[in-house]
Amino acid sequence: MATAKEKKEEVKAQLKKLRSELRTIHLAVTDELKLPEADNIKELMNQMEEMLLVIDPKSKKNKK
């Protein structure tokens, strides 16, 4: 089982990656007036779900 410090580092890394991807999408929307691909949004949502599971493993049970 991961320690609190390991969980924190994992979440921190995932947040950095998500922030970078969201920044890219934001720039495309504001500068180029392009909407993001649905697959990109689904991938980001899945990454956020994975991060939630790291933070709160019981959330998977409460999801339904």
pLDDT over threshold 90, residue 27: yes
Q: Report if residue 63 sits inside a domain.
A: no
Residue 61 — left, alpha, or beta (φ > 0 → left; ψ -120 to 50 → alpha)? alpha
Q: Report if residue 64 sits inside a domain.
A: no
Q: What is the CA radius of gyration of the chain?
A: 14
Q: Report if residue 38 sits inside a domain.
A: yes
Amino acid at 26: H
Q: Report if residue 22 sits inside a domain.
A: yes
Residue 64 is predicted with a pLDDT of 52
Average pLDDT over residues 43-59: 86
pLDDT over threshold 70, residue 16: yes
pLDDT over threshold 80, residue 53: yes
Q: Report if residue 21 sits inside a domain.
A: yes
Tell me if the pTM is above 0.85: no
At 60, the pLDDT band (50, 70, 90 cuts) reads low
In degrees, rounded to 5, the angle at the alpha carbon of residue 44 between the alpha carbons of residues 5 and 49 is 50
Residue span of the structural domain in which 23 resides:
7-56
